[in-house]
């Protein structure tokens, strides 16, 4: 997994509650059997004026000038500022893949949907929960200041503003450890193979009816 230590960059404000994973990456792009290449179709239905198709050339497509991401001042954004319940809906991991592929490294919101939140960590993308008041203030500052950047320091658990102020955030310690070191979950779990096998043996004796799937 990709490491996350410290990241800084332009902030894109997406002022909308309940952004669902269909919004982040529409279903037609889920037909891919690859993990990469979703960045050009991130927020596709809002970013472009026409309907996107998988494997198509996106370079000539008409951009939606009203969508915040298309404003030149937010080009190359690395930090996404979002509203409540970000990432709700389908479990598609294509959503964090698309955000990551586009270049986002951290997402700041008052709340996230559970599955999406979890999926972010598996892909080296850091979702950060901050108080609604703090998020409100950030929206105001970002919108008022072209080129507004934030820096995110995972080890220190701090978001740093351009004026040097810092905002502390909480993160699960195990997830922090995995992100900081880019650890692979499966490798870690397999270190507990013996415990899994022992559990399985006992469980099979106790509940054999869960072990009878065959054609």
Partner 1 sequence: MVISMSSKTLYDKIWDAHLVTQREDGTALIYIDRHLIHEVTSPQAFEGLRLAGRAPWRADANFATPDHNIPTTKAERDAGIDGIKDPISKIQVTTLDDNCREFGILEMSMDDIRQGIVHVVGPEQGATLPGMTIVCGDSHTSTHGALGALAHGIGTSEVEHVLATQTLMAKKAKNMLVRVDGTLQRGVTAKDIVLAIIGEIGTAGGTGYTIEFGGDAIMALSVEGRMTVCNMAIEAGARAGLIAVDQATIDYIEGRPFAPKGEVWERAVEAWRDLHTDEGAVFDKTVTLDAATIEPQVTWGTSPEMVVSVNGFIPDPQQEQDESRRESITQSLSYMGLAGGTAIKDIQLDCIFIGSCTNSRIEDLREAAKVVAGQKVASTIELAMVVPGSGLVKQQAEAEGLDKVFIEAGLEWREPGCSMCLAMNADQLGDGKHCASTSNRNFEGRQGFGGRTHLVSPAMAAAAAIHGRFVDVRDL
Give the residues lining the site for partner 1 (CB under 8 A): 15-18, 20, 22-23, 26-28, 30-35, 45, 51, 54-55, 83-85, 88-93, 96, 111, 113-115, 118-119, 122-123, 172-174, 185-186, 189-190, 192-193, 195-196, 199-200, 203, 207-215
Rounded-to-integer distance, Cα 102 and Cα 121, Å: 16
Shortest CB 182 distance to partner 1, Å: 14
Helix, strand or coil for residue 106? Answer: strand
- In the complex, the smallest distance separating the C-beta of residue 195 from partner 1, rounded to whole angstroms, is 5
Give least dist CB 164 to partner 1, A. Answer: 29
Task: Give the single-character DSSP code of 66.
Answer: T
Q: Which is nearer to partner 1, 75 or 196 (CB)?
A: 196
If the CB atoms of residues 10 and 80 are measured against partner 1, the closer one turns out to be 80
* Residue (75 or 195) nearer to partner 1, CB: 195
* Residue closer to partner 1 (CB basis): 146 or 203: 203
HEC-encoded secondary structure of 111-160: CECHHHHHHHHCCCCEEEECCHHHHHHHHHHHHHCCCCEEEEECCCCEEE
| Strand, helix or coil for residue 15 | coil
CA angle 176, 182, 186 (to 5 degrees): 95
């Amino acid at each position: 997994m990709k490491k996350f230590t410290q990241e800084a960059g332009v902030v894109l404000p997406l002022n909308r509650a309940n952004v669902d994973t269909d919004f982040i990456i529409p279903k037609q792009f889920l037909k891919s059997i690859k993990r990469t290449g979703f960045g050009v179709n991130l927020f596709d239905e809002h970013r472009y004026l026409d309907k996107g198709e998988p494997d198509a050339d996106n370079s000539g497509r008409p951009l939606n000038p009203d969508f915040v991401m298309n404003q030149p001042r937010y080009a190359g954004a690395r930090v996404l500022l979002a509203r409540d319940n970000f990432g709700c809906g389908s479990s598609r991991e294509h959503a964090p893949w698309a955000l990551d592929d586009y270049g986002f490294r951290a997402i700041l919101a008052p709340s996230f949907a559970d599955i999406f939140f979890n999926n972010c960590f598996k892909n080296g993308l850091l979702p950060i929960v901050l108080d609604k008041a703090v998020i409100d203030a950030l929206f105001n500052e970002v919108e008022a200041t072209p080129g507004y950047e934030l820096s995110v320091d995972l080890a220190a658990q701090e978001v740093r503003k351009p004026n040097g102020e810092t905002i502390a955030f909480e993160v699960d310690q195990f997830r922090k450890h995995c992100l900081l070191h880019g650890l692979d979950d499966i490798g870690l779990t397999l270190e507990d193979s013996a415990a899994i096998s022992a559990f399985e043996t006992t469980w099979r004796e106790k509940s054999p009816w869960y072990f009878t799937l065959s054609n």
